[in-house]
């Protein structure tokens, strides 16, 4: 009888297991945005100057936007979908506690808390780089590389008239490096407009071919290759009242970068981090916003490898007499408090961890609300830190990756977080640690699917540094079998693959591969992000050497596992990961049987100045480093099977990288595989990505031959 019950239970378990579905390729690529989307709360955001947030909910009468007060959670309905043109509540952005704005067909509309709607700001159809000053009812934008500004009276000012292909006004500069993501800086009170002007006359023209028309047409872009002439950037300041523009005295004749552009709250000064061309020397300068004259250099930062400014100044409580500066001067990204004369008052945060964001402040308590890696490099937690004495308080408690929005007064927070095991939780809490209310615990969208088993792995680099990775197994893993392995890597700056967030694998494609019979391994080696300056700078001037040494620790670990077939190992990566993949296939050709390299950098002299010269120096200063990392000259060393993929319109890692590689392969009689994606730039996005990932998977299947179910 017991045996019968046991047998029946086993049959039931097997039946339940069999009912689960495998993740299809389309679901692996697009599922988290479609049928496998994780539950969320719509339009949940703080109302300015109130301890209250809004949320979009469904009712019997359609959508409604509700307001919830904290901590009482008293609820009122603010808007209903019937009040809007499309009978749907648009995405709202609060200007203040009494009105919000939303986009319309011609620009922006406002709606008051009482429901009154008005056309607000209209924009030309071809407007780019829109910078909205909602508080003062103003907007800046760019048309044909010229800057326009609509002031609070509704008058349109054409600030520049010299815009053309070579001259760009009001747009991001320096290839979007150094944390620069915009080109228009409206002053805090809305009285002045600062803007970047970029002269690209001396920068190389580079052809990008549009193959979708007959005949194909060329569209040149300006692409500053490492070691070549750079663009010249200046910062203008326009006064809408006088209708005059002045330019700050930033010495445009000197080859340098203008970073960390910040207005003082009183609008008297503009601060700029002037970074040398070789990126080893930075000066924080204060300029008079009216005359453009340099007032003084507040301080300097130097590093024998590089200084990398990534943030604007943060003025505490809107006061002009002191500010917070982000710096890695002690080896980790921390916060430093200075007075307006450049005197260091105190280092606010310190330790072998980094600050990743300032999300708010509590002026009464003199506390900043910050996101940090203090608990683990794989987690993100909210802390409060007193900016005078540096005292820290941890606010979020559960292990995971927390994304936090803080109320205007810093007393409450909305916490949207996940972990390897938790798809999403949204909670409202106070920053004292005394109140917390769960608003959503999302169901697991993968509950009816076969998902891979994940093991967190910690290995040691040659210098003893911890390296974090993940080992991913099939659901029906059998330790007595031998499995092929796919190593996915990036291992370059500004990227972190191993985090504590959902899904545990980090990518549903890995789950798909695991169910096909692969073991998947991925690891962040030295050179990747969020582990401190020494960890990142380990790759300086000789890319791929330290990274390969670290990734080989992963390979050695994999080979030590009894279920890994060391003769069936593949490797894949994109961009820097494509460079790493190709480096392995050529510089360590006996390790991997097959590789797939997407959008790879193959010759660093063909990549842009800012990124390349930071990590590799210039070709003139580091010729040996460029020689060692030039993979085109190593084509003849290929032994395994290599598929190289490139976007035909790639304007980041230009197509010429792989074209030159193919030319050298033909010259040397080296056989390899190649595929292009017309119409795509540096990556393949949208529905075409399903085709890409199927192409990659099929290539591994062809040569690694996993055992299917």
Collapse the DSSP code of 247 into the 3-class scheme (helix H, G, I; strand E, B; otherwise coil) and give the result: strand
Residues counted in the chain: 709
What pLDDT score was predicted for residue 10?
37
CA torsion sign for 538, 542, 547, 550 is negative
Question: CB 690: neighbour CB atoms within 10 A?
Answer: 17
| 5 token code pair | 């019950």
CB 519 within 8 Å of CB 564: yes
Q: 355-372 pLDDT, tens per residue?
A: 999 999 999 999 999 999
SS3 per-residue string spanning 365-430:
CCEEEEEECCCCCCCEEEEEEECCCCCEEECCCCCCEEEEEECCCCCEEEEEEECCCCCCEEEEEE
Q: How far is CA 324 from CA 314, 386, 460, in A?
A: 5, 12, 35
Question: Phi and psi for 704 in degrees, rounded to 5?
Answer: -105, -15
Residues 609 and 612: their CA atoms lie apart, in Å, by: 5
For residue 233, report the phi and psi dihedrals to the nearest 5 degrees: -120, 135
Q: How far apart are CA 456 and CA 48, in angstroms?
A: 41
Return the pLDDT at 3. 42
Please give the Cα distance from 341 to 585 (Å, whole number): 54
The residue with tokens 């074209």 is 659
User: Is 463:480 a contact under the CB 8 Å cutoff?
Assistant: no
Q: Is 650 an active-site residue?
A: yes
Question: Which tokens hold the place of 241?
Answer: 């009242």
pLDDT reported for residue 107: 86
Is 583 marked active-site?
no
3-state secondary structure at position 600: coil
Which is catalytic among the residues 682, 688, 691, 701?
Answer: 682
CA 366/CA 373 separation, integer angstroms: 22
Q: How far is CA 591 from the centre of its chain?
A: 31
Q: Give the pLDDT of residue 86.
A: 86
Name the residue with tokens 């085109």: 632
Q: Is 276 helix (H, G, I), strand (E, B) or coil?
A: strand
Q: Look at strands 466-473 and 449-450 and give their pairing.
A: unpaired
DSSP assigned state of 636: G
What is the reported pLDDT for 235?
99
Count of C-beta atoms within a 10 Å radius of residue 696: 21
Task: For residues 217 and 51, give the distance between their C-alpha atoms in angstroms, rounded to a whole number.
Answer: 55
Q: Where do we find the tokens 């552009």?
A: 261
Best CA proximity match to 454, nearest among 525, 514, 526: 514
Catalytic residue among 264, 575, 583, 658: 575
575 has catalytic annotation:
yes
Sorted by sequence, the CB contacts under 8 Å of residue 9 that are 6+ apart come out as none
Helix axes 508-515, 688-704, angle to 10 degrees: 40
Note the pLDDT of residue 635.
99
| Tokens 């509590």, residue located | 362
Quote the CA–CA distance of 672 and 594 in Å, as a whole number. 11
Q: Please give the full DSSP string across 55-102, using - where no structure is assigned.
A: EEEEETTEEEEEEEETTT--EEEEEEGGGSTTSSPPPPEESSSSEEEE
Q: Choose the catalytic residue: 528, 583, 650, 657.
A: 650
Which residues are CB-neighbours of 147 under 8 A, at least 6 positions away?
Answer: 140, 141, 158, 159, 160, 163, 169, 170, 184, 193, 195, 238
Q: How far is the CA of 475 from the CAs of 17, 301, 328, 518, 561, in angstroms?
A: 10, 52, 43, 11, 18
The pLDDT of residue 2 is 39
- Chain position carrying tokens 């070579």: 166
Contacts of 36 (CB under 8 A, 6+ apart): 27, 445, 446, 508
pLDDT at 708: 63
The C-alpha atoms of residue 49 and residue 229 are separated, in whole angstroms, by 49
Residue 11 CA to its chain's centroid (Å)? 47
Q: Are strands 367-372 and 355-362 parallel, antiparallel or unpaired?
A: antiparallel
Q: What is the pLDDT of residue 11?
A: 39
For the stretch 202-251, pLDDT in tens is 999 999 999 999 999 999 999 999 999 999 999 999 999 999 999 999 99
DSSP secondary-structure letter at 199?
E
C-alpha span between 415 and 431 (Å, rounded): 11
- Cα gap 528→448, rounded to integer Å: 34
Q: How many angstroms separate the CA atoms of 447 and 84, rounded?
A: 37
Q: What are phi and psi of 7, to 5 degrees?
A: -65, -40
Q: Give 16's contacts (C-beta < 8 A, 6+ positions apart).
A: none
Low-confidence spans in the chain with pLDDT less than 50: 1-17
């Amino acid at each position: 009888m017991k045996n019968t019950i046991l047998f029946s239970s086993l049959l039931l378990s097997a039946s339940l297991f069999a009912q689960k579905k495998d993740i299809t390729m389309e679901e692996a690529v697009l599922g988290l945005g479609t049928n496998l989307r994780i539950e969320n709360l719509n339009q949940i955001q703080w109302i300015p100057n109130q301890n209250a947030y809004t949320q979009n909910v469904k009712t019997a009468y359609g959508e409604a936007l509700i307001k919830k007060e904290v901590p009482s959670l008293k609820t009122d309905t603010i808007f209903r979908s019937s009040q809007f043109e499309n009978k749907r509540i648009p995405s709202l952005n609060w200007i203040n506690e009494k009105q919000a704005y939303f986009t319309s067909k011609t620009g922006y509309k406002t709606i008051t808390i009482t429901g009154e709607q008005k056309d607000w700001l209209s924009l030309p159809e071809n407007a780019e780089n829109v910078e909205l000053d909602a508080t003062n009812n103003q907007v800046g934008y760019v048309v044909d590389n010229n800057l326009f500004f609509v002031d609070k009276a509704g008058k349109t000012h054409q600030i520049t008239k010299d815009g053309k292909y070579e001259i760009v006004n009001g747009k991001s500069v320096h290839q979007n490096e150094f944390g620069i993501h915009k080109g228009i800086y409206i002053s805090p009170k809305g009285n002045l407009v600062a803007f970047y002007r970029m002269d690209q006359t001396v920068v190389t023209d580079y052809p990008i071919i549009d193959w979708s028309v007959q005949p194909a047409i060329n569209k040149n872009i300006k692409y500053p290759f490492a070691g070549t002439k750079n663009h010249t950037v200046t910062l203008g300041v326009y006064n809408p009242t006088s209708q005059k523009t002045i330019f700050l005295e930033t010495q445009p004749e000197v080859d340098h970068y203008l970073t960390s552009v910040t207005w003082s709250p009183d609008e008297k000064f503009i601060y700029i981090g002037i970074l040398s061309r070789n990126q080893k020397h930075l000066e924080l300068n204060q300029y008079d916003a009216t005359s453009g004259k340099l007032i003084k250099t507040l301080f300097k930062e130097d590093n024998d490898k590089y200084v990398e400014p990534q943030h604007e100044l943060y003025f505490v409580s809107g006061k002009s007499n002191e500010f917070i500066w982000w710096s890695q001067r002690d080896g980790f990204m921390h916060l430093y408090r200075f007075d307006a004369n450049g005197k260091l008052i105190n280092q606010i945060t310190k330790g072998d961890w980094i600050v990743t964001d300032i999300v708010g402040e509590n002026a009464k308590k003199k506390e900043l609300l910050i996101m940090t890696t203090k608990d683990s490099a794989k987690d993100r937690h909210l802390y409060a830190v007193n900016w005078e004495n540096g005292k820290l308080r941890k606010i979020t408690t559960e292990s995971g990756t927390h994304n936090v929005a803080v109320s205007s007064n810093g007393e409450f927070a909305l916490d949207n977080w996940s972990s390897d095991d938790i798809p999403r939780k949204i909670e409202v809490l106070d920053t004292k640690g005394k109140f917390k209310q769960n608003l959503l615990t999302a169901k697991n969208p993968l509950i009816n699917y076969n998902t891979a088993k994940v093991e967190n792995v910690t290995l040691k680099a040659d210098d003893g540094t911890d390296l974090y990775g993940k080992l991913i197994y099939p659901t029906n893993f059998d330790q007595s079998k031998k499995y092929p392995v796919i190593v996915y890597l990036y291992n370059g700056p500004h990227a972190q693959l191993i985090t504590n967030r959902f899904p545990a694998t980090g990518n549903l494609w890995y789950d798909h591969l695991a169910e096909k019979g692969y073991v998947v391994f991925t690891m962040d080696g030295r050179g990747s992000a969020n582990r401190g300056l020494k960890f990142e700078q380990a790759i300086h001037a000789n890319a791929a050497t330290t990274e390969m040494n670290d990734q080989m620790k992963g390979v050695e670990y994999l080979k030590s596992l009894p279920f890994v077939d060391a003769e069936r190992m593949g490797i894949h990566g994109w961009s820097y990961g494509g460079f790493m993949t190709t480096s392995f296939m050529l510089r360590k050709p006996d390790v991997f049987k097959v590789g797939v390299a997407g959008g790879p950098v193959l010759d660093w002299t063909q990549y842009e100045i800012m990124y390349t010269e930071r990590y590799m120096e210039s070709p003139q200063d580091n010729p040996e480093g460029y020689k060692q990392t030039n993979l085109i000259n190593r084509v003849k060393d290929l032994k395994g099977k290599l598929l190289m993929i490139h976007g035909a319109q790639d304007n980041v890692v230009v197509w010429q990288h792989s074209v030159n590689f193919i030319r050298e392969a033909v010259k040397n009689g080296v056989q390899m595989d190649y595929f292009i994606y017309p119409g795509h730039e540096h990556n393949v996005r949208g529905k075409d990505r399903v085709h890409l990932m199927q192409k990659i998977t099929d290539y591994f299947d062809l040569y690694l031959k996993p055992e299917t179910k």
